[in-house]
Amino acid sequence: MTDSSMDNASAARCLVNGHLGAAVPVTDRGLAYGDGVFETMRVGRGQIALLDYHLNRLRRGLAALRMPVDLAATVLELEAEAERLHTGVIKLTLTRGTGRRGYAIPAEFTPTRICQSFPLVSHAPEHAREGVRLFECQTRLALQPMLAGIKHLNRLEQVLARSEWSDPDYAEGLVRDTQGNVIECTMSNLFLLENGRWVTPDLGSCGVQGVMRDYLIDQLARIGEPVSIRSVPMATVLSSDEVFCCNSLYGVWPVVGLAQSRWPVGPRTRRVQALAEQVLV
């Protein structure tokens, strides 16, 4: 990364503990053990979309990893970077910092804060307009309630699941747990309409609790369409009336195909799309 690229507001740049740079010590526990959390946030008009939801998940992740971190400086840095970037993506990574060899958590630690800014990636507009097909991944998510829901740094399950296909006909992949229940997609959460009611998989044992998922659950409850959170067998997905996937960068993509099943882009999904678009300016 060159200095000139860092000076360009639309180019990628990196701050490590508030200073321009892209290097961390090889002894950092984030590198050695995945000991940390991250958030990837969309920026529009100098503001971070769903910032409160991101911060809530960040706090849950830090608590799960027993990493007490004062986020005051982090929030100020995020807001300043968003204003500078204006439009794009910010990825925040917090690790437990450097430490000696061994898994034991240091009694005292100084966290490493990495703030990366990127241009906004343009997804194919037809994904939102016409819907997407899902690849049925064979990689299974292990059950681990202690880490369920948070964005910890070990994303190898998602890496392996995403490696299963290269066919551009598939925009996303459906992922199940080791018991066969549908959990999520490789980079997004899943909702389905069953008998007129919205359902989303329970993430109490594995999976990532997306901020767009949380936002849509709140908004659907507000308009009188509460979401049922429960175990979802594959058969339930395949027999659903409407299906969509969502995340905080692209919003909502209607799902129009999975295995042999096909769905139209339904009116209820379009309504949810509009709710997402309200915050992704």
For the stretch 178-226, pLDDT in tens is 999 999 999 999 999 999 999 999 999 999 999 999 999 999 999 999 9
Q: Are residues 8 and 53 in the same domain?
A: yes
Separation CA 33–CA 136 (nearest Å): 29
**Cβ atoms of residues 120 and 88 within 8 Å:** yes
N- to C-terminal Cα distance for the chain?
A: 29
Residue 11 has a pLDDT of: 59
CB atoms within 10 A of CB 124: 13
What is the extent of the structural domain holding 172? 125-277
pLDDT for 146 equals 97
Among 68, 91, 118, the domain-final residue is 118
Residue where a domain stops, chosen among 54, 88, 118: 118
Residue 2 has pLDDT above 50, yes or no: no
Q: If pLDDT is split at 50, 70 and 90, which confidence band does 3 have? A: very low
27 pLDDT more than 70: yes
Predicted pLDDT of residue 100: 87
Same domain flag for 100 and 183: no
224 and 110 in a common domain: no
243 and 137 share a domain?
yes
Please indicate, yes or no, whether residues 270 and 157 belong to a single structural domain of this protein: yes
**pLDDT, mean over the chain:** 95
β-pairing verdict for 19-20 and 197-201: unpaired
Residue positions annotated with a catalytic role? 40, 151, 184
Same domain, 110 and 166: no
The CATH code of the domain that includes 58 is 3.30.470.10
Report the distance separating Cα 163 and Cα 166, nearest Å.
7
CB 86 within 8 A of CB 79: no
With a CB cutoff of 8 Å and minimum separation 6, the contacts of 65 are 35, 36, 37, 96, 150, 152
Same domain for 236 and 268, yes or no, is yes
Q: Do 84 and 165 share a structural domain?
A: no
Give DSSP secondary structure letters for 120-131.
Answer: PP---HHHHHH-
Cβ pair 198, 229 in contact under 8 A: no
Q: Is the per-residue pLDDT at 9 higher than 90?
A: no
Q: Is the same domain home to 108 and 131?
A: no
- Residue 79: Cβ within 10 Å count: 14
Contact yes or no for 127/171 (Cβ under 8 A): yes
> Structurally, how many domains does the chain consist of?
2
Q: Does 50 have pLDDT greater than 60? A: yes
What amino acid is encoded at 31 in this protein?
A: L
Are residues 132 and 28 located together in one domain of the fold? no
Question: Measured between alpha carbons, how far is 12 from 10 in angstroms, rounded to an integer?
Answer: 7
Do 90 and 32 fall into the same domain? yes
- Looking at the structure, do residues 39 and 73 belong to the same domain, yes or no? yes
Q: Which tens digit of pLDDT belongs to each residue from 105-162?
A: 999 999 999 999 999 988 999 999 999 999 999 999 999 999 999 999 999 999 999 9
pLDDT, tens only, 55-96: 999 999 999 999 999 999 999 999 999 999 999 999 999 999
Listed residues 102, 118, 134: the one ending a domain: 118
> Measured between alpha carbons, how far is 151 from 166 in angstroms, rounded to an integer?
25
Contact between residue 211 and residue 249 where contact means Cβ atoms under 8 Å apart: no
Query: Tell me, what's the pLDDT at 7?
Result: 36
Tell me the CATH number at 208.
3.20.10.10
Summarised one tens digit per residue, pLDDT across range 225-273 is 999 999 999 999 999 999 999 999 999 999 999 999 999 999 999 999 9
Distances (CA, A) of 197 to 129, 192, 224: 23, 8, 11
